[in-house]
Amino acid sequence: MGYYILKRLLAMIPTLLGVAVLIFLLLRVIPGDVVEARYLTQGSQFQSQDLMDQERQKLGLDKPLWKQFTAWMGGLAHLDFGLSMWTSAPITEEIKLRFALSLQLALMASTIATCLAIPLGILAAIKQDTWIDYAVRVFTIAGLATPSFWLGTLMILGMLIIFKWVPPMMFTPLWVNPWDNLALLIWPALAVGYRYCAVGTRMMRSTMLEVLREDYIRTARAKGLWLKLILTRHALKNAILPVLTVISMEFAFLLGGLVVTEQVFNLNGLGMLFVEAISHRDYTLTQALVMLVATFFLVINFAVDIAYAWLDPRIHYR
């Protein structure tokens, strides 16, 4: 097991290297760079070429690509992300608060989703092809079909029209004012959580259906075991693993993928930072963000695999 963990951790390195090369090249293929982006926003396209070249030299953009890449890699090797090309502030400072916000939102959404998905999925499976099953399925398929940004807009609109109340529009960290923080984040968490819960419920239902047809369940029922006991002791334990996978994969996605929902609720999370960084052609910031989200994804993937081995004694990794 120890050997397996080591092997998996080492296997992350080439994948991360691939991600690094991909984002590095992609950014340089996008037309324009940070210097041009800045002058365009200042409205003076007629800057002298000299000035722009000086600016590029300062940022190291005049060096050959391989030098820029090795410099970046060298920094990453001792966890130095460098400075943002747009604001010149350290990237760790730029990311810190936004990461906290995105992480909290993702955690809240996944709590809501998990608490709903597991019972709903089991219920739909044991009542297969009854109106309960149909209702749960319609609820979940609707969840997959509703854009969370639209759901968010409807929520804000509903509160505005019915209660004449708008959620606070300024983000306050949890440790400063928990009430304001939750009053703001609960709505996007619900809007995102609905879709998330739908994904989990569907997986729970289908794995449960599969497990319930196994022989050992029939045996358990035949010897007259209490249904609740069969479900929790025999069925759930075997059906929960794929649900765990989809829930953690969605979680990894939530961290950097909530661009539109963040825009609707006026939240400054990682998603919005991505859009800003790319439109500013802020190479260093975009690269750091991509590496952060990719690492997060790989670590969660890894954690799920370890959890599999831990929860299912039949699985042995070598």
User: Of these, 31, 43, 64, 224, which contacts other proteins (CB under 8 A)?
Assistant: 31
**What's the closest the beta carbon of residue 48 comes to other proteins, in angstroms?**
26
Quickly count: other Cβ atoms within 10 Å of residue 77's Cβ.
Answer: 8
Residues 14/7/257/73 CA torsion (nearest 10 deg): -40
- Using the rule CB under 8 A, is 263 a contact of other proteins? yes
Eight-class DSSP state of 169: -
CB 269 within 8 A of CB 102: yes
Show the binding pattern over residues 98-137: x = contacts other proteins (CB under 8 A), - = does not: ------------------------------xx----x--x
Say how many CA atoms lie within 13 Å of 292 toward its Cβ: 25
In the region spanning residues 3 to 22, those forming contacts with other proteins, defined by CB under 8 A, are 14-16, 18-19, 22
CB 285 within 8 A of CB 296: no
How many whole angstroms from its chain centre is CA 228?
A: 34
User: Of these, 27, 34, 35, 243, which contacts other proteins (CB under 8 A)?
Assistant: 27
**What's the closest the beta carbon of residue 151 comes to other proteins, in angstroms?**
8
Give 11 or 115: the residue with its C-beta nearer to other proteins. 11
Q: Name 90's bridge partners.
A: 83
Residues 43/264/274/97 CA torsion (nearest 10 deg): 110
- Pick the closest to residue 275 from 251, 257, 292 (CA basis): 257
Give 251 or 274: the residue with its C-beta nearer to other proteins. 274
Q: At CA 128, angle to CA 125 and CA 132, rounded to 5? A: 95
Show the binding pattern over residues 135-164: x = contacts other proteins (CB under 8 A), - = does not: --xx--xx-xxxx-xx--xx-xx--xx---
User: Of these, 36, 210, 214, 305, which contacts other proteins (CB under 8 A)?
Assistant: 210
In the region spanning residues 217 to 256, those forming contacts with other proteins, defined by CB under 8 A, are 253, 256
Tokens coding 50: 């000299």
Contact residues for 188 (Cβ-Cβ < 8 A; gap 6+): 105, 109, 152, 258, 261, 262, 264, 265, 267
Give 12 or 182: the residue with its C-beta nearer to other proteins. 12
Interacting stretch for other proteins, rule CB under 8 A, among 54-62, 175-183, 204-212, 308-316? 204-212
**What's the closest the beta carbon of residue 206 comes to other proteins, in angstroms?**
6
| Contact positions vs other proteins (CB under 8 A) | 14-16, 18-19, 22-23, 26-27, 29-31, 128-129, 134, 137-138, 141-142, 144-147, 149-150, 153-154, 156-157, 160-161, 206, 209-210, 213, 253, 256-257, 259-260, 263-264, 271, 274-275, 278-279, 286, 289-290, 293-294, 297-298
